[in-house]
Amino acid sequence: MKELYNNEVSFELREKTIDESKQGSALSKDRKEGVKANGKKFYIESYGCAMNFSDSEIVASILSNEGFDSTTNHDEADLILINTCSIRDNAEQRVRARLKNFQGIKKRNPAALIGILGCMAERLKDKLLEEEKLVDIVAGPDAYRTLPDLISEADGGQKAVNVLLSREETYADISPVRLASNGVSAFISIMRGCDNMCSFCVVPFTRGRERSRDPKSIVKEAQDLYEKGFKEVTLLGQNVDSFRWSEDPKLKGKRLIEAKDSENVVNFANLLEMTAKAVPNMRIRFSTSHPKDMLDDVLHVMMRYDNICKYIHLPVQSGNSRVLDMMNRTYDREWYMNRIEAINRIIPDCGISTDVITGFCSESEEDFQDTLSLMKEVEYDMSYMFFYSERPGTLAAKRYKDDIPLEVKKKRLSRVIELQQSISLKKNKEDIGKTFEVLVEGVSKKSKTHLYGRNTQNKVIVFPDEGIRKGDFVNVKVTDCTSATLLGELL
Ligand code: SAH
Ligand code: SF4
Ligand code: F3S
């Protein structure tokens, strides 16, 4: 089942399929002064959302400071890591299949260690050691600082597990090693965890409580990236609009959430503004916004700064208020449509995309029709669409019956995909004749003589290579399109 649109975006912001890290072999330039190479190599493979890819860059930094070098060839690795995702059953199945493939490596090189990181590690804990006999290390998303200890334990023949979740860990002081980077665009994690408890979602269980990172460290990371030649950053969090930080020791934890916006509290709109000002020549994106928290202040900041991209990913999940209530999304259709209206009013020509789930518990044909009608009303530029997959331990798994037959879920999924394709095509056709500023990200996957990049609305544009370089900003006039891509010519 193709869950994602097949476009040219090199880094999807939603769940990705396999991406073997294309990092170069020498990390030495990223290594702290005084750290000597230990002669060992690690290989890391990442699954799931952008947060996970961003975490792999933190892991690479921790390992490089232990003296490890990285490799893209797992056959020569002393340490093989898989950073995993639990969001849907098929995401976990993919990892299990991959682990089976790794059995051969372990046979050829019994000294090699295999470690599972990320959300599946957190969800299954030491069960992974029992079920998958070849796993030596299990580390959850908040345990990466202890990887060096876990590796020593595993080297000593012990099974090494750390799946403790933290209320404080943000890895704020760790400078990520940019893996598989195009050198143009990078992620910055601004917060971790999620407190939202959407009933279908495993993330609050795998990533723990929501916590924001010190804004000073975020701005510094953006500035460092700019100095290294990057042209675009994406601020990442499961729910960026609930970003909240205070230096005031009296405003910790729950009190911080309740505190009124004041000089003592930095909220997401403030952070966005701070970042936009600190790196005025860099494009700034962010993901993901939650409809209940995305208020007008963020939209006004977006409008005020040219370097903040005019694009919002605003997952709706369903167009039916009863289903939204069962999903515990804490907004209804009317509230959601009010937010769309605010985006269109405050930021004309803003790109909007969404996530949709089909076949959630008890969803009737009429409920599903509401999702279709909402999609038509909003006219999303793009959608990420999934059929519901029950996740053990979630509120929905405990409270509701997963009662929509798989064929119906899948049929509805293909109907939303078909609808979105027709909407995307219509919206893309409206862009024909327009000129956009495009940040060039690289050579088109389909044609070596073409480059691709994105406009501020996050639409991918492909155009003939006329000696332009990756990382350049160019003006491109749209001449044609498909439902996934705009085609154009350089001006
Ligand atoms: N924090 C993000 C979501 C991260 S998960 C947000 O709130 O938007 C990305 C998407 O996966 C979700 O928006 C949802 O559409 C989908 N998803 C999550 N759990 C799912 C499940 N159990 N079955 C199917 N899709 C799911
Ligand atoms: Fe999951 Fe909801 Fe949190 Fe997103 S906001 S990560 S869907 S619980
Ligand atoms: Fe991301 Fe998957 Fe975990 S979507 S937060 S890696 S469950």
What pLDDT, on the 0 to 100 scale, is given for residue 71? 92
* Rounded CA separation 491/488 (Å): 9
Least confident of 169-178, 280-289, 421-430: 169-178
What pLDDT, on the 0 to 100 scale, is given for residue 5? 26
Of the pLDDT bands very low, low, confident and very high (cuts 50, 70, 90), residue 27 is low
Mutate to test the pocket of ligand 3, among 3, 52, 239, 287 (most ligand atoms within 8 A of CB): 52
Classify 26 as helix, strand or coil: coil
What pLDDT, on the 0 to 100 scale, is given for residue 252? 66
What is the residue-averaged pLDDT of the chain? 91
Q: How far is the CA of 431 from the centre of ligand 3 (A)?
A: 33
Contact 285, 309 (CB under 8 A): yes
What pLDDT, on the 0 to 100 scale, is given for residue 28? 56
Q: How far is the CA of 320 from the centre of ligand 2 (A)?
A: 18
Q: What is the rounded average pLDDT of the residues 424-445?
A: 97
Percent of the chain's residues with pLDDT above 70: 91
Atom of ligand 1 nearest to the CA of 384: 15
* Rounded CA separation 56/168 (Å): 19
Structural domains for the chain: 2-162 (3.40.50.12160), 185-429 (3.80.30.20), 435-490 (2.40.50.140)
Contact 141, 207 (CB under 8 A): yes
Better-predicted residue by pLDDT, 423 or 134: 423
* Sole residue written with tokens 């209530």: 325
- pLDDT beyond 70 at 20: no
- pLDDT beyond 90 at 206: yes
Q: What is the rounded average pLDDT of the residues 301-313?
A: 98
Give yes or no for residue 118 CB within 6 A of ligand 2.
Answer: no
Mutate to test the pocket of ligand 3, among 87, 88, 192, 209 (most ligand atoms within 8 A of CB): 87
What pLDDT, on the 0 to 100 scale, is given for residue 405? 98
DSSP string, 247-314: S-TTS-THHHHHSPSSTT-EEHHHHHHHHHHH-TTSEEEEE---TTT--HHHHHHHHH-TTB-SEEE-
* Rounded CA separation 359/84 (Å): 25
Q: What is the rounded average pLDDT of the residues 344-359?
A: 98
What pLDDT, on the 0 to 100 scale, is given for residue 247? 82
Tokens of 63: 């390992």
* Rounded CA separation 55/20 (Å): 15
Contact 27, 68 (CB under 8 A): yes
Of the pLDDT bands very low, low, confident and very high (cuts 50, 70, 90), residue 253 is low
What pLDDT, on the 0 to 100 scale, is given for residue 181? 82
- Cross-strand partners of 70: 42
Least confident of 9-18, 30-39, 222-231, 394-403: 9-18
Torsion of CA 191, 196, 197, 198, to 10 degrees: -110
What pLDDT, on the 0 to 100 scale, is given for residue 250? 72
What pLDDT, on the 0 to 100 scale, is given for residue 263? 67
- b or e along 409-424 (b: 16 or more beta carbons within 10 Å of the residue's beta carbon)? beebbebbbebbeebb
Classify 43 as helix, strand or coil: strand
Contact 364, 407 (CB under 8 A): no
- pLDDT beyond 70 at 11: no
Residue 411 one-letter amino acid: K
Mutate to test the pocket of ligand 2, among 123, 200, 201 (most ligand atoms within 8 A of CB): 201
Q: Which long-range contacts (CB under 8 A, 24 or more apart) does 126-130 make?
A: 126/159, 126/161, 129/159, 129/161
Percent of the chain's residues with pLDDT above 90: 80
What pLDDT, on the 0 to 100 scale, is given for residue 129? 84
- Residue 92 sits at the vertex; the CA angle it makes with 89 and 96, to the nearest 5 degrees, is 135
Please name the helix (run of DSSP H) or strand (run of DSSP E) that holds residue 95, with its range, or none.
Answer: helix 89-108
Pocket of ligand 1 (CB under 6 A): 14, 87-88, 200-201, 203, 238-239, 288, 290, 315, 317, 355, 357, 386, 388-389, 391
Give yes or no for residue 196 CB within 6 A of ligand 2.
Answer: yes
Give yes or no for residue 203 CB within 6 A of ligand 2.
Answer: yes
Q: What is the rounded average pLDDT of the residues 353-365?
A: 98
Tokens of 149: 């200890």
Peptide bond connecting 288 to the previous residue in cis, omega within 30 degrees of 0: yes
Please name the helix (run of DSSP H) or strand (run of DSSP E) that holds residue 90, with its range, or none.
Answer: helix 89-108
Tokens of 155: 């080297």
* Rounded CA separation 290/315 (Å): 7
Contact 296, 286 (CB under 8 A): no
Q: How far is the CA of 87 from the centre of ligand 3 (A)?
A: 6
What pLDDT, on the 0 to 100 scale, is given for residue 459? 98
Contacts of 296 (CB under 8 A, 6+ apart): 342, 346
- pLDDT beyond 90 at 256: no
What pLDDT, on the 0 to 100 scale, is given for residue 217? 95
| Span 99-149, pLDDT tens digits | 988 888 888 888 899 999 999 999 999 888 887 778 999 999 999 999 999
Q: What is the rounded average pLDDT of the residues 146-160?
A: 94
Q: What is the rounded average pLDDT of the residues 280-286?
A: 98
- pLDDT beyond 80 at 221: yes
What pLDDT, on the 0 to 100 scale, is given for residue 174? 92
Better-predicted residue by pLDDT, 261 or 241: 241
- pLDDT beyond 80 at 279: yes
Ligand 1 atom 19 nearest Cα: 201
- pLDDT beyond 60 at 408: yes
Atom of ligand 2 nearest to the CA of 207: 6
